[in-house]
Amino acid sequence: MEFKTFGFIGLGLIGGSIAKAIRKISPDSYIIAYGPHPEKFADAVKDGVINEISTEINETFHKCDMIFLCAPVSTNNENLVRLKPFLSSHTILTDVGSVKSPIDAKIKELGLETQFIGGHPMAGSEKTGFTNANPLILENAYYILAPTAEVSTEAVEAYQELVNNIGSIPLVLDCKEHDYVTAAISHVPHLIAAALVNLVHDHDTQEGTMKQVAAGGFKDITRIASSSPSMWEAICMSNTENIANLLDSYIDSLKEISAAVRAKQEGYTFKLFEESKEYRDSFATQARGPIKKVYGCYVDIPDETGALAMIALILANKKISIKNIGIVHNREFEEGVLHVEFYDQKSLDDAISLLRTLQYTVYERK
């Protein structure tokens, strides 16, 4: 089985990123996109990402080998009903939603089990819309497939090949397992991030000091609180039971932590941080996955013109390539304010040795 003609019902951040990735790996593919407001797809046509715009869900999609349902979770079911009369029997349907059980139930209701493979690229951004679509966000990200029991093995294998070709990592899960897993590693964290931001908002000083100094770690763990409110409410209303159960478990753990801190229970928080650090650090040691080991260090530099450029020059003269460099605005490592990343362990080790020889103070995060 080979996919050559693709349909997209909606073309936002994820749909647009997938369409761009397909165009990159298969320039001869034919891509059709549905949207009631074609002016929103002007850039997609101009850039050659899509070949055809349809302002209606109609017979245009009959020729598709594969159709991606990329509307919000609550809208995909409606689009499925509208799409069914025009489907070819060979067309494979998929979606990109963060919750699988509701659409899986609708597929069964419509008798489309032989044509559906649920899809969920574990990638994204707090930004939305096609203008922010980028195929690079799919690279090395897990892409979960949740096939029905009736869809052919050939179709699943063809989808896995497509996922591999766009640079993602296919992982096949049952839809119920998918929803439980994503509740834990995506849905609940979004709620926690939002609650943490609101905690600071509600307890800030009259002068707004908390907001003023919030940086570094706080911004890192609350970045996802800037995501689309409407999208995330739809997700919470679709995966309710899993989210509520896991939230209850998290609340119980917070109560235990609160009691231990209040009682000044020696060793409790040390063990908490130690165990979480060990588990979190193990994410970067996996052979494959979206979280890769970062070869980086922090360098104490004087607050003067040219200090950052001098570091770059020193490393360049020794032919040590820098992957990323930037200022850290919170003094997490005492006075280390420059974060430098490298492409491999040897480059990192060489850089640290060189900078320390030149009397720079260098910090490592183990």
Q: What's the average model confidence in pLDDT over 285-292?
A: 52
State how far the Cα of 355 lies from the Cα of 365, in Å rounded to an integer. 16
- We find that the CATH architecture of domain 295-363 is 2-Layer Sandwich (3.30)
Residue with tokens 């492409």: 343
State how far the Cα of 146 lies from the Cα of 95, in Å rounded to an integer. 10
Highest mean pLDDT among 71-75, 136-140, 264-268, 307-311: 264-268
Q: Is 218 exposed, middle or buried (0-12, 13-18, 19+ CB in 10 A)?
A: middle
State how far the Cα of 195 lies from the Cα of 147, in Å rounded to an integer. 34
What pLDDT is recorded for position 335? 47
What pLDDT is recorded for position 83? 95
Q: Is 206 exposed, middle or buried (0-12, 13-18, 19+ CB in 10 A)?
A: exposed
Would you say residue 212 has pLDDT above 80? yes
Residue with tokens 């209850």: 248
Distance of CA 310 to the CA centre of its chain: 35
Cα angle, residue 362 at apex, residues 358 and 363 outer, rounded to 5°: 170
Q: Measured between alpha carbons, how far is residue 183 from residues 75, 177, 186, 228 in Å?
A: 20, 10, 6, 17
What pLDDT is recorded for position 293? 65
Interval 8-24: pLDDT, tens: 998 888 999 999 999 99
Interval 171-194: pLDDT, tens: 999 999 999 999 999 999 999 999
What pLDDT is recorded for position 294? 73
DSSP 184: I
Interval 218-251: pLDDT, tens: 877 888 888 888 888 988 999 999 999 999 999 9
What residue ranges do the domains of the chain occupy?
5-173, 179-285, 295-363
Residue closest to 360 by CA, chosen among 313, 318, 306, 299:
299
Interval 146-174: pLDDT, tens: 999 999 999 999 999 999 999 999 999 99
E strands, 41-141, in order: 52-54, 66-69, 92-95, 117-121
- Give the pLDDT band (50/70/90) at residue 1: confident
The number of beta carbons lying within 10 Å of the beta carbon of residue 314 is 15
User: Given this chain, do its domains 5-173 and 179-285 carry the same CATH topology?
Assistant: no
What pLDDT is recorded for position 62? 96
Largest separation between any pair of C-alpha atoms in the chain: 73
State how far the Cα of 110 lies from the Cα of 361, in Å rounded to an integer. 65
State how far the Cα of 23 lies from the Cα of 162, in Å rounded to an integer. 12
Would you say residue 107 has pLDDT above 50? yes
State how far the Cα of 344 lies from the Cα of 269, in Å rounded to an integer. 33
What pLDDT is recorded for position 128? 74
Write out the two tokens for 255.
């109560």
Would you say residue 65 has pLDDT above 80? yes
Read off the amino acid at residue 144. I
State how far the Cα of 285 lies from the Cα of 46, in Å rounded to an integer. 41
What pLDDT is recorded for position 205? 92
Q: What is the pTM of this model?
A: 0.75
What pLDDT is recorded for position 336? 47
Beta bridge partner(s), residue 6: 31, 66
CATH no., domain 5-173: 3.40.50.720
Cα angle, residue 265 at apex, residues 264 and 266 outer, rounded to 5°: 100
Interval 322-344: pLDDT, tens: 988 877 655 444 444 788 999 88
Q: What's the average model confidence in pLDDT over 81-87?
A: 95
- Give the pLDDT band (50/70/90) at residue 92: very high
DSSP secondary structure of 235-283: HHHHSHHHHHHHHHHHHHHHHHHHHHHHTT-TTHHHHHHHHHHHHHHHG
Rg (CA), the chain: 24
The answer to whether 107 touches 114, Cβ cutoff 8 Å, is no
CATH topology of domain 179-285: 6-phosphogluconate dehydrogenase C-terminal fold (1.10.3660)
Average pLDDT value over all residues in the chain:
88
Residue closest to 273 by CA, chosen among 286, 285, 261:
261
- Give the pLDDT band (50/70/90) at residue 71: confident
- Give the pLDDT band (50/70/90) at residue 279: confident
Residue with tokens 């996109």: 33
The answer to whether 43 touches 72, Cβ cutoff 8 Å, is no
